[in-house]
Chain A
Amino acid sequence: MKIPENLKYTKDHEWLRVEGNEAFIGVTEYAQGELGDIVFIEVETVGETLEKEETFGTIEAVKTVSDMFMPVAGEVLEFNEELEATPELINQDPYGKGWIVKIKMTNNNQVAELLDAAAYKMLIGA
C-alpha cells in the first residue's frame, strides 16, 4: 500500500499535496481500493470558497457513492478535467494523474492539523 511521505492525509481517506499557497487534493490508494472501479466524479464547486470539511464533490464507484470533503479551507481553482472521460485514473494512479481538484488555501495553518503518512498508516492499519 503506497502512502507517500510528502503528502498530508484525512480520516476520510483524502490526501493533500501543498505547493506554496495552493494544494492538490485526491483520494488515497486505500480509498480507491475500497471503492472499487470508479466510474464518475462530480465536482461543481470550481470558483467557490469552502470551509474545511465542506463537501466539494462526489465520487461514484459502480456500487457506491461517497462525498468528498475539503481537508482544509480554500477556493476550488480547478477540477482535473481528465477525470471526466477517464475516472479510472483514480484507480490507476491515485496520487498522480488521479488528482481531483486544485485549491487555493485560505488558512494555511490547517495543514498542520492533518495526518502525516505515519499517522494515516496507523489509521488504516497498513
Chain B
Amino acid sequence: MTNTAFTKFHIEMGAKMVPFAGYNMPVQYEGLVAEHHTVRKAVGVFDVSHMGEFWVKGPKAFDFVQKVTSNDVAALFDGKVQYSCFPNGKGGIVDDLLVYRVNEITYLLVVNAANIDKDWAWCVKQAEIMGLEVGKEIYNASDEIAQLAIQGPLALKAMQKLTDTTVTDMEYYTFKKLTFAGVKDVIFSTTGYTGSGGCEIYMANEDAEKIWKAVYEAGAEFGIKPIGLGARDTLRLEMGFCLYGNDINDTTSPIEAGLGWITKFTDAKNFIDKDYLSDQKKNGVKHKLIGFEMIDRGIPRQHYEICDANGNVIGEVTSGTMAPSLDMNIGMGYVNTPSAKADTEIFIKIREKLLKAKVVKLPFYKG
C-alpha cells in the first residue's frame, strides 16, 4: 500500500485510515456527516494525491487528446479545464478524467487512482499507434505529484491569502499556474467533486508538507477542517456526479450514463467509438443512468435491484446513500429507458421488500 505525501498528517490528526485503490487514505476524521456539512457551509481539505496525472506534449498532443477523449478538445483555451472520458473501443468507458490545456501543445490529463495502470496502458497503446514518444511526449507523472482539494464556499477566499495572483474571481473549471505559499509553479484549478466550489491544487511531492501547513494556517479563521473519503462520496452523490467503478465502467457507454454532454460529434473531431456512440445518440439506448429519491424509508445501496410496481426487475442501483444536506435517501442506477423519465415511480428491493422511490433530475442538491 502506498502512502501519499500527506499520510503522516492524516494519522497525526486522528483519521480512520483505509486502503483505497492501493493507497493508504483517510476515510473519516471527526465523522462523515459533520465533515460533509463543513464542506457545504465552510471549507474542507481532501487529500487527493492518489489521483493520476499524465502529461501530453508536442506537435501531436492535440490530435492525441482529441482521439482518446470524448469531449471536444478544440473547445479548450489556455487555462481551461474540461470533464471528459476515454471511450474503450467497445462502447464502454476506460475512465473519466479532467483535461487541462496549458497551451496548444501541452495538456494535463487527470485520471482516477484505481485506474492509473489501466489508463496508462491504454494511452501508451494509442500513443504508439499515433507515433508519440512514450516517456517524453506522453509522460506518467502520477508518482511525482501531490494534490489537495480545498472545497466549500469559503475555500477561494481562504486560499487567496496564500497567493498574490487573484483567484477569487476565477471562473469554474479554469486554472492558473502560480506561486502559492511561496512555492512556484503550483497548478491552481477551480475544479472539484463536491458541488460547493473551491479549488484543486497540484504540487510536487517535495512541496507538499509546506503547502499542507500553509493551507491550514490560512484556513483557520474560516474553520478549515480535513475531510475523508466518506464525505467525498456523499458530496459527489448529492451532485449526481458519476463515480467510476460504481456508476460508469468498461461496459457502460457515456450516452447511457447521461454523459452525452461530454461526447461531441463535430465533423472535425474523430475519436474512439465515435460512430458507435453517435448511433446510440441518434437511435437511443436500452437503459439509462438515473437519479432517484426514496419515498418509503430505506437506504439504497450498490447492486440492489430496481423493480417496477409488480416486482419485475428493471435495473440496478449503482450508488446510494443517506444525503446529509437533503435529509433524504438518494441513489443512482441504470433502468430500462421507458422507466428513466423524471417522476416515474420505481421500487428498490431492500431486504426482500419493495420500497417506493421516484426518478428525479440531477443534481439532487441544488445549493
Contact = CB atoms under 8 A, between A and B. Distances in A.
Interface stretch (B27-35, B62-70, B78-86, B165-173): B27-35
Contact of B322 (A40, A42, A58, A91): A40
A4 interface: no
Interface of A: 36-37, 39-40, 42, 58, 60, 62-63, 65, 91
Contacts of A65: 299, 301
A42 B297 CA distance: 10
Contacts of B230: 36, 62-63
B321 to A, nearest CB: 6
A65 B301 CA distance: 9
Interface string B288-312: 0000000001110100000000000
Contacts of A58: 351
Interface of B: 28, 31-33, 230, 233-234, 297-299, 301, 321-322, 324, 351
A100 B298 CA distance: 18
Contacts of A42: 351
A37 B33 contact: yes
Contacts of B299: 39-40, 60, 65
Contacts of B32: 36-37, 62-63
Contacts, number: 32
B5 to A, nearest CB: 26
Nearest to B28: A36
Contacts of B234: 62-63
17 contacts: A36-B32, A36-B230, A37-B31, A37-B32, A37-B33, A39-B299, A39-B322, A40-B297, A40-B298, A40-B299, A60-B299, A62-B33, A62-B230, A62-B234, A63-B32, A65-B301, A91-B31
B324 A62 contact: yes
A58 B301 CA distance: 14
Most chain B beta carbons < 10 A, residue from A36, A58, A91: A36
Given A36-B28, A60-B322, 9 more contacts: A36-B32, A36-B230, A40-B297, A40-B298, A40-B299, A60-B299, A62-B32, A62-B230, A91-B31
A63 B299 CA distance: 9
B296 to A, nearest CB: 12
A37 B230 CA distance: 11
A39 to B, nearest CB: 5
B279 to A, nearest CB: 38
Contacts of A39: 299, 322
Contacts of A62: 32-33, 230, 234, 321-322, 324
Contact of A63 (B233, B297, B298, B351): B233
Contacts of A60: 299, 322
Contacts of B324: 62
A36 B31 contact: yes
